[in-house]
Amino acid sequence: MPPGITEARVLWRHDAAPTGPDDPAARNAKVTNASLEIRGGWHLRAPDDGAAYHFAVYPLVRTAGGVRALPSGAHVVARAGTHLTPPQ
């Protein structure tokens, strides 16, 4: 994570990119520096149907009003890997 950031909100959807840090149609998880170190990263099982995941990651900051997501996150599209069967 960037310097000074200790937690982030990860959002994902199959149909489109998340629209923002509070997208009601997206699934989400909070990830911390500590959980990344303990678990060796953050993992999400590939979908059985091979559909793409659209991800967005928003840094979280603590303010006097609580924890809030910064409005500019990183966006990527990921697809499950393909297992090739070598020719016989």
7 strand-pairing partners:
32, 60
Task: Please return the burial class of 26, using the count of CB atoms within 10 Å of its CB with bins 0-12, 13-18 and 19+.
Answer: buried
Q: What is the mean pLDDT of residues 71-77?
A: 68
Please state whether the predicted TM-score (pTM) of the whole model is above 0.85. no
- Give residue 12's pLDDT: 92
Confidence of residue 73 (pLDDT cuts 50, 70, 90): low
Dihedrals phi, psi of 35, to nearest 5 degrees: -65, -35
Cα separations in angstroms, 31 against 15, 37, 40, 42, 51: 23, 11, 12, 7, 23
- Quote the pLDDT of residue 9: 92
pLDDT score of 60 more than 70: yes
